[in-house]
Structure 1
Amino acid sequence: MTRVSDSGDDADGGSPAVLSIGAAAIDEWYAVSNLPEPDGGAFAREVTSAFGGVGANVAIALDRLGRDAGLVSRVGDDEYGRRAREYLAETGVDATHVAVGDDPHTRSLILRDPDGERAIVTAGESFRGLRLDGDALAAMADADAVFLTAYAPDRVSRRVLDRIAALRDGDETADPPALVFDLSGSVEELVDRGTEPETVHRFLHAADLFVADGVAAPAFFGSADAAVERVAAAQRRAPGSESRSRRGSQRDSTWPRAVLTHGADGMTAVAGGEVSRFDAFDVDTVDATGAGDAFTAGLIDRWIAGTSPGTPEDGDGVAPGVRFAAAVAAINCTARFTQPGLPTRSEVESFLAERGYGPGGSR
């Protein structure tokens, strides 16, 4: 499938299919007077709902950028699940592999105070019941990239790893998908719900792109500095690109890659074991919820889907992709809720141009 971006250009000669595995949640927002302390209380000035879920956020962000994106998920057979399915049908995201189960739909209760600080509680078993059937596994083989969040049940994460490994070891003429993993959520939050530490460790060594935020990385690695050291060391010990994936074998020595995000304090990129630090764009933030997912989608767009294998990235290494992704995240922060502010490609290009950068983030 080929999509044409809203800027009128066929991105790099064709848009690869990206398969996102994650929840399509409903976010219930409470604008509260304060985040309550233990045994304390708060008053909600406004209560509303919006669409979220890491898997859906990344897929819809890529769709807004003009990419062909599909979602593998499981929703509840209830009012929330029906709303999620109806909403997905209005987007360009392929929801063929979104199953319906009897469990209550996955939803998040988000408390947000006047300063933008948040507390999030997630409920609903629908996504925890996800299984990868034969059709979803076949879709992985046909995709150009597979994205997975750590909120995915461990059995799903392990099956994705096994499937990618089998594809990499398979037919010499095949072109296995690139693997992107997002370490979202602290270790404690993922226990009995998401990807287990041992499986995360496998992703660290198997993923073409490994992303972790400022909460998840220190929780898993012990500290932010330790996260950088561990990721760089894993990359330096990585096997040759031919044994990782034939797609990866056509890339330069800056693969595999990882980015550790620090919110408004910027991000750290680790590429081929080399560390670079970048600043975030300064914007008037309305709501930072989902900014990390928007950032990951921007990286996928520029580094995975946006660059033909073996093609230099605007002649400037990893930096343009990080800037492009940072622009996607920054724009998203200027609107309320997770998905309404996800930008189109022309909006990102205009944002970058106003700051002296080229359409893809190059100088």
Structure 2
Amino acid sequence: MKTLDVVSDRYMDAIVLGRAGVDLYSAESGTSMDKVAGFRKFVGGSAANIAIAMSKLGKNVGMISCVSDDPFGKYVLAYLGSNGIDLRGISLDDTGSRTSVAFTEMKPGDCSVLIYRNDASDLTIKPEDIDVDYIANSKVLVVTGTALSKSPSREAALLAMQYARQHNTLVVLDLDYRPYSWRHKADAALYYQLAVGLSDIIIGNREEFNVMESLMRSDNKDDDVTAKLVLQHQHVQIVVVKAGELGCKVYCRDGTRFEQGIFRVKVNKPFGAGDAFAGALLSHLIAGGALEEGVRLGSGAAAINVASDNCTEAMPTLDELTSFISCNEQS
């Protein structure tokens, strides 16, 4: 598969559905949480990270989410808006829910992340909040899997995916498995399967695919077997299995299969890479670019992100990304 068919006559390039929150990163590198003296504040959350990544690469991007009607929620909205994100699909909740907050260490490995998601605002999205015309006017809908973890957000996410299918909007599912968000792994397996059946592109790591398959093939750890299973779903065209420092494997319905290595950098933190990868890959595909080059750009964006001290601000522009790739040998 060289390119992907994407409807071109749409105002929005992409809409990303999922969480937007506040990230508080340790201001001190290599320091354990109990000794950290201060934190630096940024906007985060997988969906927000992907949306910012695509916007910085020149795409017209919107979000479907919810934040709390308080200073943190308004901070998130202001930041997203200042980065060109269309805010029509984001609502303010005044019922007592709270925008997620993550506290992180700044270490290359063994890095603690404490996430506070009690009554998380992004999980209060309701089916009636989903605007079919908004989705019908977008080339791509990206759903991050945490949105499927609880009601009413899971019903809203599945409805958005159904609307996208009805209106020929490409559907991308980033599995984004966060165990603390789910009642039980069995729930995740069930709703992932439902969502995969509505998707064109599936992105995840080995652990996430293991969870998705756990009700059917609990012993499978083989990427080839996983891809064959996922590609049996009617609409799925591309499966990307991420493997951290081992790069990723890409499988297509037409039989195309290839691997992509990483770009070696000095890692400052382990998170943010997957969101940067997805943002760069999807931006390239939306522009009509070849899949192989999109995956290479994604790998470059991931490397840039893990070498930084935050996620959203470190998402590269296209010039920064192409310059990085041209100056760094791929491992």
Q: TM-score, normalised by structure 1?
A: 0.76
Letter paired with 2:297:
F
1:281 corresponding residue in structure 2 = 263
> What does the per-residue CA deviation read over 1:117-169, in whole Å, with 9 as the maximum and x for residues that have no partner?
3222322421121124356332111111000111114544444444544554x
1:360 corresponding residue in structure 2 = none
1:136 corresponding residue in structure 2 = 131
Q: How many residues are paired up?
A: 310
Matched, 1:54 2:49: no
Matched, 1:109 2:102: yes
- The 3 A distance-change label for structure 1 pair 334 and 113 is closer
**Cα shift at 1:214:** 4.2
Identity of aligned residues (%): 19
1:65 corresponding residue in structure 2 = 57
**Cα shift at 1:77:** 1.2
1:185 corresponding residue in structure 2 = 177
Bigger RCO (CA 8 Å, 6+ sep): 2
Matched, 1:147 2:142: yes
1:28 corresponding residue in structure 2 = 24
- 1:27–1:109 Cα contact (<8 Å) kept: yes
Matches within 5 A, 1:261-300: 261-272=242-253, 274-300=256-282
Letter paired with 1:85:
L
1:301 corresponding residue in structure 2 = 283
- The 3 A distance-change label for structure 1 pair 23 and 17 is same
Q: What secondary structure, in the 3-state scheme, does the structure 2 residue paired with 1:206 have? A: coil
- 2:21–2:99 Cα contact (<8 Å) kept: yes
> What does the per-residue CA deviation read over 1:258-313, in whole Å, with 9 as the maximum and x for residues that have no partner?
1111112211112115542221111122233211111011121122x121xxxxx5
Task: Give the gaps of 5 or more residues in structure 1.
Answer: 1-11, 36-41, 245-254, 308-312, 358-363
2:90 corresponding residue in structure 1 = 98
Q: CA separation in 2, counterparts of 1:135 and 1:234?
A: 27
Q: What secondary structure, in the 3-state scheme, does the structure 1 residue paired with 2:275 have? A: helix
Q: CA separation in 2, counterparts of 1:192 and 1:142?
A: 34
1:119 corresponding residue in structure 2 = 112
- 1:217–1:224 Cα contact (<8 Å) kept: no
Q: What secondary structure, in the 3-state scheme, does the structure 2 residue paired with 1:92 have? A: coil
Task: Give the gaps of 5 or more residues in structure 2.
Answer: 1-7
**Cα shift at 1:69:** 0.2
**Cα shift at 1:233:** 2.5
Q: What secondary structure, in the 3-state scheme, does the structure 2 residue paired with 1:352 have? A: helix
Q: CA separation in 2, counterparts of 1:72 and 1:306?
A: 22
- 2:125–2:156 Cα contact (<8 Å) kept: no
Of 220-229 and 54-63, more deviation after overlay is shown by 220-229
Q: CA separation in 2, counterparts of 1:230 and 1:197?
A: 14
- 1:232–1:274 Cα contact (<8 Å) kept: no
Matches within 5 A, 1:103-252: 103-112=96-105, 114-124=107-117, 125-133=120-128, 136-153=131-148, 154=150, 155-165=152-162, 168=165, 176-186=168-178, 188-192=179-183, 196-221=188-213, 222=218, 225-235=221-231, 237-239=232-234, 244=235
2:314 corresponding residue in structure 1 = 341
**Cα shift at 1:54:** 1.0
**Cα shift at 1:59:** 0.7
- The 3 A distance-change label for structure 1 pair 206 and 33 is same
**Cα shift at 1:356:** 7.6
Letter paired with 1:287:
K
The CA RMSD over aligned residues, in Å, is: 2.9
Q: What secondary structure, in the 3-state scheme, does the structure 2 residue paired with 1:151 have? A: helix
Q: What secondary structure, in the 3-state scheme, does the structure 2 residue paired with 1:336 have? A: coil
Letter paired with 1:233:
L
- 1:190–1:196 Cα contact (<8 Å) kept: no
Q: CA separation in 1, counterparts of 2:258 and 2:209?
A: 17
- The 3 A distance-change label for structure 1 pair 284 and 130 is same
- The 3 A distance-change label for structure 1 pair 24 and 238 is closer
